[in-house]
Structure 1
């Protein structure tokens, strides 16, 4: 896979706006633009300018001025891609954007493929593979936590930790391989006790990284929360209170919500996707029945379940409520369940005391007045282990990394077992090589065209 030509693409968001940025990268990027750039300073050539400089002028074709622009010059190897890079800041008219891009396509540029600028950065050693993937995560981040993780990984936090483990393991692997060359002399160059300590340390780090994926995955993709309960207990009112807007229709008529309504907000930097579901009850209404069926489908998909009931009805429905809660707990034993008594503003202190005695850990709420909403959001945050995020520890969010870590962990366990049973160095070396292979998959020391194609196909064109 070779990339010798010069590519071009719109680097800013598609559509019209105040400013657009067009990016070129390749050996001829500067010369191609220079041939059609007329500086406001006479006789200024972009080819002769220093790297990381900006120049005001006009893009011209055959005497016709297309636009007044700012041209940024980045010379290799000190650029994002490691090649010569030009960025043209022009006015954001769709017409102007296309005129400039089409001009340079006619002059020898090629339209960039998805993620090709970042792919070239990887191939030219400006980023390793995990850092390149973090670029896409950074662009896609829509809350504080996912942004923080992407920034840490793009700066090399994750890859440097993996690279250090790989280097130490590689040093011992070299000694093991050396022993194979002197097999007839029966000598050991690798200290087995030190090697065991290293394997234990690698096992500890790998386990921590693998365990972090459970947190990282929900931070990256958001946490779906299903709000369930009988009709007319205030589910839609709660959704509106959480979103601070009239997102769901609210009425006194039972069964008003007949389909699921979803919206996402950020709480403490974590994305939560709340799903207001149809009320669960026996009904002959065909449409409402379909909505109730979807409710159970959404519970299946949710990672957290909020069960809401009307506190005022507790006296007459306490036994039914307990049965429903047991059903949910038995069917979804791994899902956190928050039980909330709503409309608490309509009941007296005696009933509140009975609620708290009969249902441990119950939360009191008035979705209409807002009482208890903040406590609910705090409870949701408590369900997410964000300690690692606060401590700036490495958190794995990429499923490809997670898969490679699992495979590396398995091979390291084989190495550990081999050390304990005293297997021969040649068999030990096989497991070590496999572990090194999976470490290399993460950072890109081990790669192939299909893998790169799959990764960078998910990028936007101008990145």
Structure 2
């Protein structure tokens, strides 16, 4: 544990702004004298006590509930004091300042907590593993009900239990291989009798299922970045408004109305979809400086998208000049970004020259929007029936991919006629280490700093 992790810490644990209730939290070792000095009495563990909190002049700062959680039965695993009062920012700042004043004599070294430091201490004191700790922030940041439920499952340990099951299977397999290395006369016959190949196959199958579920969980957490692109007046802003169910973007028949990006997050079956409307893409002498900047920003968003809705105007599709401009846009779209061709203004045209994977709709009438929503889910790789999903992050996906790579190499070593057992053992060790990064069993301090710095203050 680093030296600063031994310091007692304090912070306002509720969100900035006014609210009905606000919380000041203090965590550290040996807080009992501080509690006595601050409140003038001892508190019963885990029992709410109502009363005033007085300033240095003896006048009450506020009245509220004081809760005392002696170690190790607390969120951080240390002694924790929570003061729950009225949620005014000035009141909470006064209460926090009073805690720091009392600490000069009763709790030397008390300092303001860094972002995420309470949860970091919960991890360091084995109250939570790293996947559960990350789920705390994911639960706070959840943008849909499905995401919140998945984060709650991760916080409850659903993801961690799956990882530990794989860890146990890997440990058993490594024991077999290591035993064979220690007794080389047994060699490959020993592994065959112990069904080492079958164990490795089952491990890889279980990992494949876990990776698929983690990808679903990551999609719930991060959502899908979708950019609507196309020529001016194709109906991009109308489509954004229709998907969002609100008039977010200005819609006029004047080319170049949209000058900057407009973004809105919608949810489709609980999956957050971040939809961005962009300036109409065109190369014309009529484009002024402001619109030119908007077009540049549109291309930037397109290059960073998970998917592009390329919107075509059916009422102008018969014009050679319009089709030529659409073809120019298509050539500029990045190769690695999936493109869904959407044919708009179906209410004004007889039909659409779409391919089997294209969508025809009317943003104005709402026709075809449900089909578009379902196509976006399929494009994202979403599988229905995700009620038991847990939350996952990009770093979890990367760790699981490394595990799969090491197990693939282990499988190759095991299947060789003259099995290279030392290389097999090393691949299994590396696979277990990559798996342990998810729960924090093998995690560099700099990674911990990055993870917890993204938490809010007081959590």
Pairwise TM-score range, normalised by the shorter structure? 0.7 to 0.9
| Alpha carbons of structure 1 residues 401 and 366: separation in structure 2 relative to 1, 3 Å | closer
Whole-angstrom distance in 2 between the partners of 1:431 and 1:173? 10
SS state of the match for residue 16, structure 2?
coil
Whole-angstrom distance in 2 between the partners of 1:146 and 1:339? 29
2:16 aligned with 1:22, yes or no? no
* Equivalences for residues 432-447 of structure 1 within 5 A: 432-447=428-443
Per the alignment, residue 41 of structure 1 pairs with none
Contact 2:258 2:278 in 1 (8 A): yes
Contact 1:59 1:66 in 2 (8 A): yes
Structure 2 residues without counterparts, runs of 5 or longer: none
413, 419, 422: which is aligned to 1:418?
413
424, 430, 439: which is aligned to 2:426?
430
Contact 2:14 2:23 in 1 (8 A): yes
| Alpha carbons of structure 1 residues 14 and 222: separation in structure 2 relative to 1, 3 Å | same
SS state of the match for residue 319, structure 2?
helix
Contact 2:413 2:421 in 1 (8 A): no
Per the alignment, residue 46 of structure 2 pairs with 52
300, 307, 332: which is aligned to 1:297?
300
Whole-angstrom distance in 1 between the partners of 2:394 and 2:246? 35
Contact 1:8 1:23 in 2 (8 A): yes
In the TM superposition, residue 308 of structure 1 has moved relative to its aligned partner by 2.4
Contact 2:224 2:380 in 1 (8 A): no
2:347 aligned with 1:377, yes or no? no
SS state of the match for residue 390, structure 1?
coil
Whole-angstrom distance in 2 between the partners of 1:444 and 1:361? 43
Whole-angstrom distance in 2 between the partners of 1:6 and 1:330? 56
Per the alignment, residue 308 of structure 1 pairs with 311
In the TM superposition, residue 127 of structure 1 has moved relative to its aligned partner by 0.9
382, 389, 410: which is aligned to 1:386?
382
Whole-angstrom distance in 2 between the partners of 1:321 and 1:65? 74
Q: How many pairs were matched up?
A: 447
TM-score (norm: length of structure 1): 0.86
| Alpha carbons of structure 1 residues 113 and 185: separation in structure 2 relative to 1, 3 Å | same
TM-score (norm: length of structure 2): 0.87
In the TM superposition, residue 70 of structure 1 has moved relative to its aligned partner by 0.8
Whole-angstrom distance in 1 between the partners of 2:200 and 2:243? 48
| Alpha carbons of structure 1 residues 339 and 231: separation in structure 2 relative to 1, 3 Å | same
In the TM superposition, residue 278 of structure 1 has moved relative to its aligned partner by 1.9
Per the alignment, residue 366 of structure 1 pairs with 362
Q: Deviations over 1:392-418 (max 9, x none)?
A: 2556x3222222222222222222122
Per the alignment, residue 134 of structure 1 pairs with 135
SS state of the match for residue 253, structure 1?
coil
Contact 1:215 1:384 in 2 (8 A): no
| Alpha carbons of structure 1 residues 364 and 25: separation in structure 2 relative to 1, 3 Å | same
SS state of the match for residue 376, structure 2?
helix
Q: Deviations over 1:321-340 (max 9, x none)?
A: 48836963895555443333
Contact 2:214 2:390 in 1 (8 A): no
Whole-angstrom distance in 2 between the partners of 1:429 and 1:252? 67
Pick which of 53-62 and 305-314 moved more.
305-314
Contact 2:135 2:151 in 1 (8 A): yes
Per the alignment, residue 250 of structure 2 pairs with 249
341, 344, 347: which is aligned to 1:345?
347
SS state of the match for residue 345, structure 1?
coil
* Equivalences for residues 25-40 of structure 1 within 5 A: 25-37=27-39
Pick which of 302-311 and 385-394 moved more.
385-394
Contact 2:213 2:389 in 1 (8 A): no
| Cα RMSD after superposing both structures | 2.9
In the TM superposition, residue 154 of structure 1 has moved relative to its aligned partner by 1.4
2:270 aligned with 1:273, yes or no? no
